[in-house]
Structure 1
């Protein structure tokens, strides 16, 4: 398949905002290198190579201490690149895998030992083919035995279809990228209100206040996205996570500067207490519970 990506920013700035010591980038990826870890034949897009060495160098450049590496659809259910990165991190990374219901118990145990702590269910129609909800429920029941959580990725217009499943899933469910709201409608849009209502009703739902570069209509510095993220941080301070989404796969419009993305953080978490919860307390509690304070 012909590559259809924008390459990640070659020289991101040093952020003006200094993240607190111990901060976690709770949503990022590793891709390939393709010569070692081939991309899935069924993928809907082809990313650039973004190996673990580049990710860990970015982590240090931006001032973060740890990563949560999320499997993306371009690698499908082959979590080899993810597991390789986790093992190389020396405990400084945790992972979220993509699985089929046919996955053997031995593979689950291997991934758990490598540092995987969650499984991702993707409902974005341009990225994946439809999967019956019953399949996801069977996978969720299996990984619940390992203490893993569920990550769900969907777009706002599909919330009505996804919400019943989300309510049924066991344990903690983390929603990627704020449920991809339509920011053109503003924070008073009924669709975003429905998402807030779901979060209020089910205290086990967490949310990543990430990816302004994907959600924006106005473009950098993402003024149109900030109110959404800030409302979530202030309404659910103990259930929010933040991540770069590096290397920003399948971006079509622009490639963000990761340093500039870090500088959005104090605009959505405006106090040191909220920043600490967002960047340290919450991700540590979810991914490194034995080390969280």
Structure 2
């Protein structure tokens, strides 16, 4: 005969048997959004931003066994890499880790404890931790979580890994008037783009943008040939290139030289302002 006490006991035992494995499993499935000197990540592990917008982990490009550390959208259908740490020095196996160095900088090391990439932030706080934000930025914070230093893809200087390394302007947006770039009105501070000019003082003056609509995904890429490409996607749709800095010869800075006029409808496309003559007549006659 079952008493109330025995029924309650049996029910509790069943609950424990069901819940205990779930609790144990959840301990292995928790995600982290920070990296410290003691809480580093190995090749098979992933850092996910608090709102699950972005993730950071090791990956291999298609048709390659090289291992890189990158940040990309965590939504599977948006799996686009937007920043790579060790793009110039890939790992050749899965023994790498991402950790924080003694001087407070995030770094990538191979299995031999050799540094293949470091943020090299001169103002990294001691006992710092790197946190991946829902903006996609990886920031350094001190142990109190107060001081922060951004060094991620948004603020990283472009380092030409290819043959494209000219020392003169190739394209320019025109001056920033506080609302738009004069020659590129699409790059403005309103509507979807939310561009803002930031004075980095000791670092540099740099540009940021924040999207007003969370269902829209957008990023800019500087290609090896010197073109800035804007790629846009609405949730549930495909990626689409909506703007390029260099659509034609007219967009290349100084194509016709000083005091030159460019008209793509003419042949040759360049002509001199009234009162001026070509400086190099032979080159001019060749259309150069």
Task: Provide TM-score, normalisation by structure 1.
Answer: 0.28
Answer 1 or 2: which has greater helix percent: 1
Kindly indicate whether structure 1 or structure 2 has the higher relative contact order, using CA contacts under 8 Å at least 6 residues apart: 1
More strand by share: 2
Specify the structure having the higher radius of gyration (Cα).
2
